[in-house]
Chain A
Amino acid sequence: MWIFNSAFGKIFDALFLPFRDMSPWVGMILVSFLTGLLMLFVFKWTSNQQGIQKVKNRIKAHLLELRLFKDSLSQSLRSQGNILRCNLKYISYSAKPMLVMILPLILIIIQLNFWFGYESLTPNESTILKIKLAEDQNPLEAQIAVQPSSGLVMETLPLRIEESQEINWRFSATQGGMQEFTVTIDGETVTKKVAVAQKPLSKISPQKPDNNFLDQVLYPVEAPIKSQVPIKTIEIQYPSKSMNLFGWEIHWIIAYFVLSIIFGFAFKGVFKVQI
């Protein structure tokens, strides 16, 4: 799983590399454009293009009927029934591309969330390091040591929450760059990267995942914690980020969908795709 994750992640690293110093909108436009094209091609190759063309023409014809025979109730009802049937057919034709698209799209969105969903830490701003222990561990008794790298400082003693098997610390960064925590427990060592003062477009990984399938799907940026380590997850609370459009704060995913659809429609003529 990690091999797939790291390879898939590298695609985005390469894609965004030239644009990291620019406004996140540049990366967003690029990735939306590519997604729009991808959707077009998937549509073209997996859908029944002729069928779609036909069913669309038929809907048009029935709409015309409706207008022409608007005085005849029985004819109107028949036309409306036909339109409904054609619509169902249209939906069934486009269902296949949707099904094909849905899985890659989810994986892409998960990746993009790390690029557009979080802000790196600013020096002197406090946040939380959260370690979730394995089920058999008691946070009050765990033999755990956390060593911050030179650009990080711990601000509090550990706060132990028994009901959720968590240990939390408040910390802040004193200098920019990639920092890390080295966590030692039961002789095992795990590190967690901490992004401080990064470029405008940067991949931020809030959580080092547990060694299970779902966690790895949801948190693909970092290799999972090895199963012999009695820690489930290590999390850094990063501030969330939104896209700023002339003063309006919008969630990146809305920008992404809207732009992808716009690009899809804009280029459907160029690639002769029936939608």
Chain B
Amino acid sequence: MPNINRREFLKLGLSAGSLLALGSPSDLVTKVFGKADTHTKVLILGFDGMDAHLTNIWMNQGKLPAFERLRNRGGFTPLQTSLPPQSPVAWSNFITGLNPGGHGIFDFIHRTPEYYLPTFSSTKTSDSTKTISIGNLVLPLSGGTIENMMQGRAFWQILEDHDIPATIFKMPSNFPPVETKQKTLSGMGTPDITGSLGEFNYYTTEVTELQEDLGGGEIHEVYVIGNRVEAKLPGPENAFKKNQPESSIDFKVFIDPVHPLAKIVIQDQEFILQEKEWSRWRRVRFPMIPTQSVSGICMFYLKQVRPDFKLYISPINIDPAAPAMPISTPASYAKELEKEFGPFYTKGLPADFKAMSNGILDEEEYLAQDDTILEERKAMFEYELSRFDSGLLFYYVSSTDQRQHMFWRFLDPQSPMYDPALVHKHGTAIEDIYREADNMLDMAMSKADKDTIIMVMSDHGFTPFRRTFNINSWLKENGYIRLINNRRQGQEEAFMNTDWSRTKAYSYGLNSLYINLRGREGEGIVNPGAEKEALVREIVQKLEKVADPKTGERVITKAYITQEDYLGSQKEKAPEIIVGYNRGFRTSWSAPLGRITKEVFADNMDKWSGDHCMDPAVCPGILFSSEKIRSDSPALFDLTPTILSLFGIEKPDNMVGKKIF
């Protein structure tokens, strides 16, 4: 996952208008999709970002006994990831059995060629088109829509065609969940209640240097008056009112004059927290109009009472008991889980890495949050395992990915964010999460009978991320991008200062490079055909020669030409080049959204210190299986036809992979 620093962009543009899309009465029981019992059962554990190299090391040290057992029973091999190795792309490969040329997800971020503006690759939203205005009120006559942009069919849809039941838990890139009668819960890409990828709220009396509105959260300056704090919790935009004002809930905090304690009073709830204590899930309702409100869930953390008051509220997750957006199929599945477990994390990337990057949560606090997430996941896994008796169960865990992003610096003495004091405290955070993965696998293996085929896979591995490379600055330095005003370089995002009539190539997203093509881009100047192809080859050659001035290291191991590497109906929409970075290098923090900084290179000074948006060759994922793996170097899209074949289903013609057993 990239760390993108613009709140505006993070908004998926979802508003209460699109929230209206559903809101059905609660079904009592999740209807189980009618089907035959299968003799063979397939259990797949997906650990996001689990790295082949680290797994191997810790397995050989005896730290991952369940993985070792599974390897000895069937096999273990690195798993080829997608091009580029970004989670939405990689999981789409796995879901559809296609490569990006087929499913059309090429990067976290795509762009509109007409206007050169960035868009999220995975979802498209539109507000209700028919509305009536009465004074200040706007009443939508139809719900807005949220669309999943992934093309192709998901393997559980194909299983459904053949009457094979499947439960798909938190599959990334499955938001909103694709249409099916199977039980699915949406995963990475699921926004919080404000429609963003996660906006925490932080209330403090401390004068901070942080901006009020930083990417991923909002800082509220508050005052303690008479041992009381009054504040507002912002919610989704209110599409029922003109100009869609942000909704909010007032709340109060009462502080003991001496003891490190506070009581929070919000809506009809009161609860007491001690300093450094987390609340359980709390349900909040944002009123829209008298008959409509949007329900969300959040956790409170009382970081400090004195001398400065500090209260953190997690991003407000969609309430699984009354989801404001579609998060499961059937709609009752999320409600059923909520009945069983109470509220749970519904947001795609649950752990709040933004709060840690900004210093609002420290390492220990972040890990405490991550542990809660893991506990929820494990409890639900046990539940799904206990009733898994037919077909396929896919279960996903995000913590492996998120922890490696944030804690890699403690494994890497060359990281500019290496800190020996913290290594002492948190040096095992990544190893710990691998051990947790091992525990879950152990749970699965002890439950599985002899007819159950177990696979454990990840979408990609990990590498250090020490140096940032602003590819747009490099393009500018090499004359491919021309600015309108050179003095303003670095000030604007989204290529606002770019002279398109003299610009030949540009980059949006983490690995994508586009040619400013005549007839496709709004102000394209490069002719399709020979001229474009020559330009692509020229840029590829130059990119592969770039060296870091600090160390002389090669920055890009391979720049891939998509016309040669991609297959499928969406190929024409692909960027011309996918940039494959060497270990230690990644695109800079500002390049993905079209900011052209003066410097091409910089040290990566973010706690986000491990990454995988590199060359697929340097960050393979893992594949363990209880069956012997017969393929030499299997890839993600090989797993899809393999799953189908285990149930005796022929591979559809458009799938690019081959079965591995």
Interfacial chain A residues near B274, Cβ < 8 Å: 156
Binds A, one of B6-14, B60-68, B257-265, B379-387: B257-265
Binds A, one of B20-28, B148-156, B500-508, B596-604: B20-28
State whether B261 touches A248 (Cβ < 8 A). Answer: no
The count of residues in chain B whose C-beta lies closer than 8 Å to any C-beta of chain A is 20
State whether B27 touches A159 (Cβ < 8 A). Answer: no
B256 CB–A CB distance under 8 Å: yes
Q: What is the distance, in angstroms, from A167's C-beta to the closest C-beta of chain B?
A: 9
B254-276 at interface with A (beta carbon < 8 Å) = 254, 256-259, 261-263, 268, 270-272, 274
Interfacial chain A residues near B256, Cβ < 8 Å: 157-161
State whether A128 touches B272 (Cβ < 8 A). Answer: yes
State whether B270 touches A128 (Cβ < 8 A). Answer: yes
B226 CB–A CB distance under 8 Å: yes
Among B25, B228, B257, B258, the residue within 8 A (CB) of A248 is B25
State whether A160 touches B25 (Cβ < 8 A). Answer: no
A163 CB–B CB distance under 8 Å: yes
Q: A128-B271, A140-B257, A168-B272 are in contact. Are A159 and B262 (CB under 8 A)?
A: yes
State whether B257 touches A247 (Cβ < 8 A). Answer: no
> C-beta contact mask, B263-305 vs A, less than 8 Å → 1, else 0?
1000010111010000000000000000000000000000000
Interfacial chain A residues near B261, Cβ < 8 Å: 156-157, 159
* Cα distance, A161 to B255, chains bound together (Å): 7
> C-beta contact mask, A218-245 vs B, less than 8 Å → 1, else 0?
0000000000000000000100100000
Q: What is the distance, in angstroms, from B234's C-beta to the closest C-beta of chain A?
A: 26
State whether B227 touches A156 (Cβ < 8 A). Answer: no
Q: What is the distance, in angstroms, from B229's C-beta to the closest C-beta of chain A?
A: 13
State whether B254 touches A161 (Cβ < 8 A). Answer: yes
State whether B228 touches A163 (Cβ < 8 A). Answer: yes
Q: Which of A128, A158, A237, A247 has the most CB of B within 10 A?
A: A247
Interfacial chain A residues near B28, Cβ < 8 Å: 246-247
* Cα distance, A159 to B305, chains bound together (Å): 12
* Cα distance, A88 to B120, chains bound together (Å): 65
Interfacial chain A residues near B272, Cβ < 8 Å: 126, 128, 156, 159, 168-170
Q: Which of B28, B256, B268, B274 has the most CB of A within 10 A?
A: B256
Q: What is the distance, in angstroms, from B268's C-beta to the closest C-beta of chain A?
A: 8
Q: A168-B272, A237-B270 are in contact. Are A161 and B25 (CB under 8 A)?
A: no
Among B25, B227, B259, B268, the residue within 8 A (CB) of A158 is B259
Q: What is the distance, in angstroms, from B31's C-beta to the closest C-beta of chain A?
A: 13
Among A156, A158, A248, the residue within 8 A (CB) of B26 is A248
Interfacial chain B residues near A188, Cβ < 8 Å: none
State whether A160 touches B257 (Cβ < 8 A). Answer: yes
Q: What is the distance, in angstroms, from B95's C-beta to the closest C-beta of chain A?
A: 32
Interfacial chain B residues near A170, Cβ < 8 Å: 271-272
* Cα distance, A246 to B28, chains bound together (Å): 7
Closest partner residue, chain A, to B269 (CB atom): A237
State whether B26 touches A161 (Cβ < 8 A). Answer: no
A21 CB–B CB distance under 8 Å: no
> C-beta contact mask, A145-170 vs B, less than 8 Å → 1, else 0?
00000000000111111110000111
Q: What is the distance, in angstroms, from A223's C-beta to the closest C-beta of chain B?
A: 26
Q: A128-B271, A163-B228 are in contact. Are A247 and B26 (CB under 8 A)?
A: yes
Q: What is the distance, in angstroms, from B140's C-beta to the closest C-beta of chain A?
A: 24
Closest partner residue, chain B, to A246 (CB atom): B28
Among B27, B254, B259, the residue within 8 A (CB) of A157 is B259
Q: What is the distance, in angstroms, from B331's C-beta to the closest C-beta of chain A?
A: 12
* Cα distance, A157 to B270, chains bound together (Å): 16
* Cα distance, A253 to B399, chains bound together (Å): 45
State whether B257 touches A162 (Cβ < 8 A). Answer: yes
* Cα distance, A128 to B226, chains bound together (Å): 22
Among B25, B226, B258, the residue within 8 A (CB) of A163 is B226
Interfacial chain A residues near B257, Cβ < 8 Å: 140, 160, 162
* Cα distance, A170 to B254, chains bound together (Å): 14
State whether A161 touches B263 (Cβ < 8 A). Answer: yes
State whether B263 touches A168 (Cβ < 8 A). Answer: yes
Among A126, A161, A169, A246, the residue within 8 A (CB) of B227 is A161
Q: What is the distance, in angstroms, from A58's C-beta to the closest C-beta of chain B?
A: 40
State whether B259 touches A159 (Cβ < 8 A). Answer: yes
Q: Which of A126, A157, A159, A247 has the most CB of B within 10 A?
A: A159
Interfacial chain A residues near B25, Cβ < 8 Å: 247-248
Please give me the 7 A-B residue pairs with the lowest Cβ-Cβ distance, nearest first: A170-B272, A157-B259, A247-B26, A159-B256, A159-B261, A247-B28, A161-B254
Q: List 13 A-B contacts (CB under 8 A).
A: A126-B271, A128-B272, A140-B258, A156-B259, A157-B261, A159-B261, A161-B227, A161-B256, A162-B226, A163-B227, A163-B228, A247-B25, A247-B27
New A-B contacts (8) at CB < 8 Å, excluding given A140-B257, A156-B274, A161-B263: A128-B270, A128-B272, A140-B258, A156-B261, A159-B254, A160-B258, A163-B228, A247-B28
